[in-house]
Amino acid sequence: MGLKFQPARFALDLSIMPADTASSQAPDNTRRGNSLRLLLDAQRAAFARDPYPTLTARKKHLRELLVALIAKQKDFTKAIDDDFGGRAHAEIMLSEVFVSGASIKHALRHAAEWMRARSAPVDLPLQPARAWVMPQPLGVAGIISPWNYPLFLFMGPLAGALAAGNRAMLKPSEYTPATSALLARLIEDTFAPDHVAVVNGDAAVAREFATLPFDHLLFTGSTAVGREVMRAASENLTPVTLELGGKCPAILAPGGDVSKAARDILYGKLLNAGQTCVAPDYVLVPRANLHEFAGAALAAIDRYFPNAPGNPDYTALIHPRHVERLQSYLEEASARGVEILPAARRPPCGRKFAPALLLDPPGDLRVMREEIFGPVLPLKAYDHLDEALAYVNALPRPLALYLFTRDRRIMERVERNTISGALSVNETLLHCGVESLPFGGVGASGMGHYHGRHGFETFSKMKPVFYRPFTGFSAKLRPPYGKLHERLLKLLMR
């Protein structure tokens, strides 16, 4: 249904439907588009009445969001577990609830600093004058969040948008219906809908959402869908931040600690069963260490998730299609004679897919060309570090690159000779939790940044302001031009 008007409030309810029934039961496109536009117009009108919220107001909104999150944390662990068909509550608390709260708390601690005008120097020829940069709210932010971390990737961008003083409309994923419904209730109970609103619905709703003329649109999801979102946003010249994915490599450098690297890489790979945009997608290993690393990786799997996929701490894949897709990777690799280690032979447990290690698969396999997004990990052998770097640089630029070395020279070499959204040395995933670092991709893995101050600036117009108390030296450069103008210009150009 469309907008329901109630005294002093309204709410948008576009029902979530399974993909196979969405085309026949989706609301009429025109009515749906009108409902979304009406909600956007209401937020624009509210922003026009209060275009620069005070620090007190912004911190109040952030605290209210944090209190609501804490109050519903048990509800979120159950909803996410239900949506995945099996995801450990401890993992949800760490990778969804804790990091969401940390994002909001970071914004609360630093909002005052972020809001301050930043002085800018003025060169002598333009004196007397002052200049500064004023962070100004953009207006209404649109946020499209994905299914793989349905709470954190909803709350993180929202914290930045609220700290920057904006209104916000959010579209969570239809693949996590219980979580998306809970998010809608949390927001409706916490904010007026002309301040923050959740729009739930199927892929058709998401497409309509992306066509709205937001002041900024942030999308997290696949590269393929990111292209469609950018195309839709371009019709309104809406600026976009795209947080995508790709194939994130891990490089074990010559002389690196094989056992520690295997433990760290497999932790990053198996969290959320590999359904993480910054999960290691493949590992480049010195040829002499290939089997040693494989053995250490199998030991790490058994250490973290004994008897996976039957282990209750091990996460299920979100949809049967993903099980089929990963199985097709293994079948293609097996047909090409690739060695698949024993962990891969354990039968699935529902949608829980057994971890699989592929030894030195050829680069033309689908598993080496497509983002895996699951617990399948190819181990690719190399003979020289230059060969490993060339392999990484020949592929689209990744969202993250993981390097394992204690050699400072190797670290600097990789840092300078590869381009990625982030470089993390001797760890995986943890850079995402550093709120003071920008998070974002490059090229096919995304554009723009958020987290912490970088999210605040993404949702702000960093407006330059120039102030002159009276006319200065530069007035001598105005017409009519003559000898004095010529001499002064030559003097300035020295």
Residues designated as active site: 243, 277
Instruction: Read off the tokens for 409.
Output: 């020279």
Instruction: Read off the tokens for 105.
Output: 């708390």
Task: Let me know how long the chain is.
Answer: 494
Asked whether 209 and 183 are in contact (CB, 8 A), the reply is no
Task: Provide the angle, in degrees to the nearest 10, between the axes of the packed helices 290-304 and 258-270.
Answer: 50
CA 347 to chain centre: 32
Distance CA 145, CA 48 (A): 26
* Burial class of residue 364 (count of CB atoms within 10 Å of its CB; 0-12, 13-18, 19+): exposed
Instruction: Read off the tokens for 237.
Output: 């010249």
At CB < 8 A and 24+ separation, what contacts does 90-94 make?
90/313, 91/271, 91/272, 91/313, 91/315, 92/151
Distance CA 91, CA 261 (A): 21
